[in-house]
Amino acid sequence: MADEQLLTISTFARAVGVPASALRYYSAQGVLEPADVDPVTGYRYYAPSQIETGVLVRRMRSADVPLSVMREALAGTGQNAASLLTGLLSHHGAISRHREVALRDLLDTLRPDDRSRHAARALVPGAVLASAVRQVLAATASATSDVSGLVWTVGPRGIELIATDRYWLAHRRVGAQTEGDEVRAIVPVSDANSLAEICERAGEVHIELCGDQLTIRGADRSLLMRSETVERAVPDLGLLVSTQPPARVVTGFRRADLVDLLARPSLGDTLRLVAQAESATFFADPPLHGWASAPRADCDPLSILLQPALLAAAVAICPAEEVLISLTDESTPARVTSPVQDTLTLLVMPMRA
């Protein structure tokens, strides 16, 4: 540094983009001290080799890095500095998110609009809602962006949660105390995952669904989360479940046996299920046998082709030891249900022969 041509404070300030007054302050705080100070005039001089450090100080200054962190970051190793700034980033991120939520909540209070007249509200145990959200979200694992999302319907019948990737659909109904209009909206998958984590740790939660916003509050009405809904047409997917024609035959299989069957690498892309009045069989090597129940004992056998991966995804979220598969014909979705959870319905599209 002794062989370098020193820079005046004004020249150094222009080089690093920090005002001279700030450089004097940083020097007093032990953050960036000059290379030399004239003992007579008090003029400060900086070395060209300090420019890189000065630029780093300017960048930390722009990011509102506290002086104490600046001092430690400049005095330590690069790894130590990165660790300090990572912690600061997490802290600022949490503060920013908190401020955003608080400001949105304040805006809703000070600027009421027509949404309040077209909102649905519900009170439900948080753990129940979290479990239902996670079950239904399984159907979004391979969904494209135009159908991805969790469809919420809040109304007189409680809360309905639906998701689909076009080839299979998950529907869960949750009983809840509700008031207001029936409102339907789509919540992004990422927000739905966050919501499940928040609700799982809460007791009862208050839900408010408007056309453009889903709000979750705790039992004390404190704001837990707010999600902007997806801006696209919201299909009434519940109709796909409620308007399913009556089943010609209901089949039943042990869940563990069915899981093992669907995990076989030799299955290929299709799996045939044949059901008669009292028996049902998945034709594989070896086959898997189950029971069947039909309204008429003399009904003709019903054969349907299913994609193993889709059926496996549906079976995976059934909570009981037995899985029921209701069949109508070769082109109507197979209805997968659980004997212990009648609020869960899974539709799996059949394949063409």
For 171-183, how does the pLDDT look when each residue is reduced to its tens digit (9 = 90+)? 999 999 898 889 9
Q: How far is the C-alpha of 215 from the C-alpha of 213, rounded, in Å?
A: 6
Residue 293, judged by CB atoms within 10 A of its CB (0-12, 13-18, 19+), counts as: middle
CA distances to 8, 25, 44, 45 from 39, in Å:
15, 18, 10, 12
Q: How far is the C-alpha of 173 from the C-alpha of 123, rounded, in Å?
A: 14
Q: Say how many C-beta atoms besides its own lie within 10 A of residue 147's C-beta.
A: 17
**Looking at residue 85, what is its pLDDT?**
81
Q: How large is the average pLDDT for residues 49-54?
A: 90
pTM, full prediction:
0.67
Give per-residue pLDDT as tens, 160-212. Answer: 999 999 999 999 999 998 988 899 999 999 999 999 999 998 889 999 998 88
Give per-residue pLDDT as tens, 308-324. Answer: 999 999 999 998 899 99
What topology is assigned to 244-348 in CATH? Proliferating Cell Nuclear Antigen (3.70.10)
Helix axes 20-28 and 51-62, enclosed angle (nearest 10): 90
Q: So where are the chain's domains?
A: 7-75, 114-235, 244-348
Residue 292 has pLDDT above 70, yes or no: yes
- Class of domain 114-235 as given by CATH: alpha beta
Per the structure block, which two tokens stand in for 327? 């069949």
- Class of domain 7-75 as given by CATH: mainly alpha
Q: How far is the C-alpha of 142 from the C-alpha of 244, rounded, in Å?
A: 24
Q: How far is the C-alpha of 154 from the C-alpha of 177, rounded, in Å?
A: 10
**Looking at residue 104, what is its pLDDT?**
64
Mean pLDDT, the chain, integer? 88
Residue 290 has pLDDT above 70, yes or no: yes
**Looking at residue 111, what is its pLDDT?**
55
Which residues touch 84 (CB under 8 Å, ≥6 apart)?
69, 72, 73, 76
Helix axes 51-62 and 67-75, enclosed angle (nearest 10): 150
- pLDDT band with cut points at 50, 70 and 90 for residue 334: very high
The torsion of the CA quartet 111, 114, 117, 121, rounded to 10 degrees, works out to -60
Residue 336 has pLDDT above 90, yes or no: yes
Percent above pLDDT 70 for the chain: 91
